[in-house]
Amino acid sequence: MAQKPSIPKGTRDFSPAEVAKRNYIIETIRHQFEVFGFQPIETPSFENLETLMGKYGDEGDRLIFKILNSGDYLNKVEPEVYAQKDSAGLTPQISEKALRYDLTVPFARYVVMHQHEIDLPFKRYQIQPVWRADRPQKGRFREFYQCDADVVGPGSLLQEVELLQLYDSVFSDLGLNGVCIKLNHRKILSGIAEVIGAGDKLIPFTVALDKLDKIGQEGVMREMSAAGIGQAAIEKAMPLFSMAKDKQNSLDVLSEFLKDSIVGKQGIEDLKFIAETIRTLELNSTSLEIDVSLARGLNYYTGAIFEVSAPEGVNMGSIGGGGRYDDLTGIFGLKDLSGVGISFGLDRIYLVLEELGLFPETVEESVQVLFVNFGEKEALAALPLIRKMRGEGIKTDLYPADAKLQKQFKYANNRNIPYVVLLGKDELEQKVIVVKDMANGSQNTYAWKDLQQFISTL
């Protein structure tokens, strides 16, 4: 035996039970995507490197998995570039393809390429793996699934409202209560930066503000200062810190704070509309919270931004996120097309459901009825009955070998199979089956011709 095999860091194998649970989540999400009128697309697992580079910021560029060119790729490198040992300069010369980093940029590329064949507004969903060359942690993998729903076309705030309802529907179906959707607006952040006189430092300002929960007011102020934001500006922003804690009145406080900022006021109007509409429609299992300190999201968001956090007490980063991007397709040459979308982090939702014990028991039920194998003659007699049950859509199986009864029952027990059917010598003679209910141990006898009777109890 050679070296033990292994898989790359941050990747995983999935056992049948895990796949069953993952499929349960995927099907729940897919169902609601379709109920909300989204259509599926799929895109290649790898794109041209230039399609992806520069879309996620410097940090994102670093985390993109690049694919080495085929053949004698070093041969084409200019000697000067090679000699300089400059990785950034060398990369485009030895790699022209890269693994998909998210689903949004490929979607934007798709819209531009297929603009003449899609009807706007186009509501698409996409459930596929993405890859990031990140250092793994709990709930952070190098290969993971995103489940995205986006709308492109004429912009309307009703779409934001619908997407929030979509979040709510999915988490309700999954039985995951206490999920909190945080809501903010890029224009509010711009307005704040403008009002405090740090308009040119928007990104570092928002990145620092986002850490308020984590490092506190002092930490945020220190980080802003380190980012080159002036002391006067930071002090002007101070009311925001206390406001972030008092989430009820945040819009009123913000209105006052941003009264001189046109952009800022637009952001407030948007959020007011979204929050009030949601309030009248009511959410089922999730809560909506306006949070000025929410600043995450990729560089392309321009309007509302969302982030979904797991219920309190579960230590997990965000399990979903999204927002509006007014000009995503602009970078691919198609102007004035607005989009808004959300994403579900399948792998993290899985971990949350697992931790809270929220997977339905039936999810792992691969077989409903197992026929015991008593030998060739009995097994052959069972086959027509099994075929009939399978024809009715019942997950039915015959134990594949004439093993000890004890072993077959143990197998059924370990697999959580609820019913075991006995068809041995006696049953064969009398043309009956004995059905054992594994939950309570009770047994019932049915004639072969009355199989339907048994089926109807399932």
Partner RNA sequence: GUGGUUGUAGCUCAGUUGGUUAGAGCGCUGGAUUGUGGUUCCAGAGGUCGCCGGUUCGAGCCCGGUCUUCCACCCCA
Contacts 24+ apart (CB under 8 A), 254-262: 254/188, 254/292, 257/192, 257/195, 258/188, 258/191, 258/192, 258/195, 260/195, 261/190, 261/191, 261/192, 261/194, 261/195
The one among 99, 234, 271, 422 contacting RNA by CB under 7 A: 422
Residues 24 to 63 in contact with RNA, rule: CB under 7 A: 56-57, 59-60, 62-63
Q: In 2-146, which ranges are continuous DSSP H helix? A: 16-35, 49-52, 57-63, 79-84, 87-94, 104-113
Work out whether 456 is an interface residue with RNA (CB under 7 A): no
> Which residue, 267, 257, 265, 259, is CA-closest to 326?
267
Please say which residue, 54 or 391, places its beta carbon nearer to RNA: 54
Please say which residue, 280 or 414, places its beta carbon nearer to RNA: 414
Q: Which residue bears the tokens 């109890």? A: 457
Work out whether 302 is an interface residue with RNA (CB under 7 A): no
The CB density around residue 185, as the number of other CB atoms within 10 Å, is 29
Q: Report the distance separating Cα 369 and Cα 216, nearest Å.
A: 57
x-or-dash pattern for RNA, window 357-396, by CB under 7 A?
Answer: -----------------x----------------------
Q: Report the distance separating Cα 51 and Cα 64, nearest Å.
A: 11
The one among 31, 245, 377, 410 contacting RNA by CB under 7 A: 410
> Which residue, 203, 192, 271, is CA-closest to 238?
192
Q: How many residues of this chain interact with RNA, rule: CB under 7 A?
A: 66
Cβ neighbours of residue 187 closer than 8 Å, sequence gap 6 or more: 263, 264, 266, 267, 270, 302, 303
Work out whether 407 is an interface residue with RNA (CB under 7 A): yes
Residues pairing with 66 in the sheet: 98
Work out whether 141 is an interface residue with RNA (CB under 7 A): yes
> Which residue, 101, 87, 90, is CA-closest to 52?
101
> Which residue, 296, 291, 303, 225, is CA-closest to 254?
291
Please say which residue, 10 or 197, places its beta carbon nearer to RNA: 10
The one among 31, 76, 114, 135 contacting RNA by CB under 7 A: 135
Work out whether 17 is an interface residue with RNA (CB under 7 A): no
Please say which residue, 29 or 319, places its beta carbon nearer to RNA: 319
Give least dist CB 440 to RNA, A: 6
Give least dist CB 136 to RNA, A: 4
Work out whether 6 is an interface residue with RNA (CB under 7 A): yes
Q: Report the distance separating Cα 72 and Cα 324, nearest Å.
A: 43
Residue 402 to residues 34, 157, 373, Cα–Cα distance (Å): 45, 64, 5
Give least dist CB 262 to RNA, A: 27
Work out whether 409 is an interface residue with RNA (CB under 7 A): yes
Residues 144 to 183 in contact with RNA, rule: CB under 7 A: 144, 146
SS3 252: helix
The one among 424, 448, 455, 458 contacting RNA by CB under 7 A: 424
The one among 124, 185, 296, 324 contacting RNA by CB under 7 A: 296
Going by DSSP bridges, is the β-strand pair 143-153/419-422 parallel, antiparallel, or unpaired?
Answer: unpaired
Work out whether 15 is an interface residue with RNA (CB under 7 A): no
Give least dist CB 314 to RNA, A: 12
Give least dist CB 141 to RNA, A: 4
Please say which residue, 24 or 131, places its beta carbon nearer to RNA: 131
Is the bond preceding residue 418 a cis peptide, omega within 30 degrees? Answer: no
x-or-dash pattern for RNA, window 80-99, by CB under 7 A?
Answer: --------------------
Give least dist CB 321 to RNA, A: 4
**Helix axes 231-245 and 250-257, enclosed angle (nearest 10):** 160
Give least dist CB 174 to RNA, A: 15
Residues 214 to 233 in contact with RNA, rule: CB under 7 A: 214
| Chain length of the chain | 458
The one among 26, 187, 427, 446 contacting RNA by CB under 7 A: 427
Structure tokens belonging to residue 110: 């798709």
SS3 68: coil
The one among 361, 406, 449, 456 contacting RNA by CB under 7 A: 406
Please say which residue, 248 or 414, places its beta carbon nearer to RNA: 414
Cβ neighbours of residue 91 closer than 8 Å, sequence gap 6 or more: 49, 66
x-or-dash pattern for RNA, window 325-344, by CB under 7 A?
Answer: ------------------x-
The one among 140, 236, 265, 395 contacting RNA by CB under 7 A: 140
Give least dist CB 97 to RNA, A: 19
Please say whether the dihedral angle defined by the alpha carbons of residues 351, 21, 181 and 136, taken in this order, is positive or negative.
positive
Where do contacts with RNA occur on this chain (CB under 7 A)? 1, 3-4, 6, 8-10, 56-57, 59-60, 62-63, 102, 132, 134-142, 144, 146, 207, 211, 214, 296-298, 308, 315, 317-321, 343, 345, 347-348, 374, 404-407, 409-410, 412-414, 420, 422, 424-427, 434, 436, 438-441, 443
